[in-house]
Chain A
Amino acid sequence: MRRHLISAADLTREDALLILDTADELARVSERSIKKLPTLRGRTVVNLFFEDSTRTRISFEAAAKRLSADVINFSAKGSSVSKGESLKDTALTLEAMGADAVVIRHSASGAPHRLSNWVRGSVVNAGDGTHEHPTQALLDAFTMRRRLGSLEGRCVTIVGDILHSRVARSNVLLLSTLGAKVTLVAPPTLLPVAVDSWPCEVSYDFDEVLPKTDVVMMLRVQRERMNAAYFPTEREYSRRYGLDRERLARMPQDAIVMHPGPMIRGMEIAAEVADSARSTIVEQVANGVTVRMAVLYLLLGGSEPAIGKETE
């Protein structure tokens, strides 16, 4: 039996809560002077990054190292991949090195799923194309839970480029599993066609949903994935869908502001909002390491994984 974390939909409510509870305890390790646990000694975690993402890679690397796993970083640039090696051959190479887990970031949606059929270890999706990014959703849920308590019945508004966002999709799936009510806000051009089938609501009017929002998550407009004009001008986008001080003031007093990073100040979020006490942007980064430790521990720590989807 093998288990992987490829989609936030793979997680049952029990799985998700186990990860968040485990992360709660592991957060205390980050406060100690010796931030290391011996749990994954002798296990090998491969970071297989076909797309540049320094922050996600170092987050996974720190998480694996804090659990004493050996970490091999494999970045596609300057490697055999740039010479034309296929994903399958790369997978077989990793297999031969004895990887217990492969953390994969790929520009093609579905690459982690394919990989999971070729390697014996656990596959963790660290972002595939515009599909999913489950550990980001977990760290977001963890951050919300730490600030607000339970997520049951909380209203989460995700604003921006939903179409190109794997973060949005993973968050919608995970948050609905955890009982939160999600509303997506975006211009119609930046919403996926199949959004009707997602477990969430859709609005085109940011100002209307603000007063009943407990958490607002701002997404970056992903220029690198855009090959057409999705909105008239940046100024207009910012005016209708950006979070500035006035909009923040119209949200409930204890509402929090999140952003998965990297953010563009002045575009989707005003600098003063990003730096305010209600913003969790820096916390999210620290929580990322903790949550990824929890995922690696639960997948690799025991005789068999305690979470995730089974294959075979």
Chain B
Amino acid sequence: MDVARNQVERAVLEAPDIGRALTRIAHEILERTKGGKDILLLGIPTRGAVLARRLAEKIEQVEGLTPRVGTLDVTMYRDDLRLKPARALGRTELPGDGVDDRIVVLVDDVLYSGRTVRAALDALNDVGRPRAVQLAVLVDRGHRELPIRADYVGKNLPTSRSETVKVFAEEIDGRDAVLLIKGGGG
């Protein structure tokens, strides 16, 4: 009860901000990959998958090419599986021609400890050999526990470990927003 009352929510990004951040990332991806011909956007379920699809649309609007999109579930590769009861799996959906020789751009909503990305790199290793792997995130909240960094960042958000960052996506939650929750615990 007390925890709930002390909880303070602050919207860090609203829908238009998220749209602009994704547009900028789309441009950066195109720039960095010299036109994005060989890219494969792989979203990490569930919200990363949504963001990957949106990035693909943006890239299509800008460059006129339709990039390959897919999803990569990392649950079975996580290093914290034994800390919680076994959880339901997300979907892995790869394009028919696989990941070999593609420039894979992993897409996730929040970059925090880096452990999800490590799991994604392991998962990727089991499905093929990309030419390069890059990382795009909507929010980088710091506190890395592994030597991992993002290539494309929507917003760098300094946080304390006691805070929670929550990403809402229209397709799943009915609205677009990034909230910073203080005192929520975890």
To the question of whether A and B form a pair in one complex, the answer is: yes
Contact residues in B for A25 (Cβ distance below 8 Å): 73, 89-92
Give A71 to B81 CA distance when docked, in angstroms: 20
Give the contacting residue for B126; candidates A32, A67, A301; CB below 8 A: A32
Chain A residues with Cβ below 8 Å from B76 are 37-39, 67, 297, 301
| Min CB gap A214→B, angstroms | 27
Question: Is A305 touching B85 in the complex (CB atoms < 8 A)?
Answer: yes
**Does A21 reach chain B (CB closer than 8 Å)?**
yes
CB closest chain-B residue, reference A67: B76
Flag whether A18 is at the interface (Cβ < 8 A): yes
How many Å from the CB of B102 to the closest CB on chain A? 16
Q: Chain B 63-99, CB within 8 Å of chain A: the 1/0 string?
A: 0000000000100110001111111111110000000
Give chain B residues whose Cβ lies under 8 Å from the Cβ of A310: none
| Smallest Cβ-Cβ distance to A26: which chain B residue | B89
Contact A301 to B81, CB < 8 A, known contacts A18-B88, A39-B76? yes
A22–B76 Cα gap in the complex (Å)? 11
A22 touching B81, Cβ below 8 Å: no
Query: A32–B88 contact, CB under 8 A?
Result: no
A28 / chain B contacts, CB cutoff of 8 Å: 92
* Residue B127, interface by CB 8 Å: yes
Inter-subunit contact A301/B92 (CB<8 Å): no
- Let me know if B122 is at the binding interface, CB within 8 A: yes
**Neighbour of B86 across the interface among A21, A34, A305, CB < 8 A:** A305
Judge whether A36 is part of the interface by a CB distance below 8 angstroms. Answer: yes
CB neighbours of B84 from chain A (8 A): 302-303
CB atoms of B73 and A39 under 8 A apart: no
Encoded as 1 (CB less than 8 Å from any B CB) or 0, chain A from 1 to 36 comes to 000000000000000001001100110100010101
| A25-B73, A34-B127 as given contacts; A302 in contact with B91, CB under 8 Å | no
- Which residues between 67 and 102 of chain A lie within 8 Å of chain B, taking CB atoms? 67
* Residues from chain B with Cβ under 8 Å of A26 in the complex: 89
Q: For A304, what are the chain B residues with a Cβ–Cβ distance below 8 Å?
A: 85
Task: Give 1 or 0 for each of B22-58: 1 = CB within 8 Å of chain A CB.
Answer: 0000000000000000000000000000000000000
A37 surroundings in chain B (CB, below 8 A): 76-77, 126
Cα of A303 to Cα of B82 in the assembled complex, Å: 4
* Interchain CA distance A297-B86 in the complex, whole Å: 7
Residues of B within 8 A of A (CB): 73, 76-77, 81-92, 122, 126-127
Known: A18-B88, A302-B84, A305-B85. 19 other contacts (CB 8 A): A22-B89, A25-B73, A25-B91, A32-B127, A37-B76, A37-B126, A38-B77, A39-B77, A39-B81, A297-B76, A297-B86, A299-B86, A300-B86, A301-B86, A302-B81, A302-B85, A302-B86, A303-B83, A303-B85
A contact set with B: CB distance below 8 Å? 18, 21-22, 25-26, 28, 32, 34, 36-39, 67, 297-306
Closest 6 CB pairs of A and B: A302-B86, A301-B86, A25-B89, A306-B86, A302-B85, A37-B76
Q: Report 8 cross-chain contacts, Cβ distance below 8 Å, ordered by A residue.
A: A25-B90, A34-B127, A39-B76, A302-B82, A302-B87, A303-B82, A303-B84, A305-B85
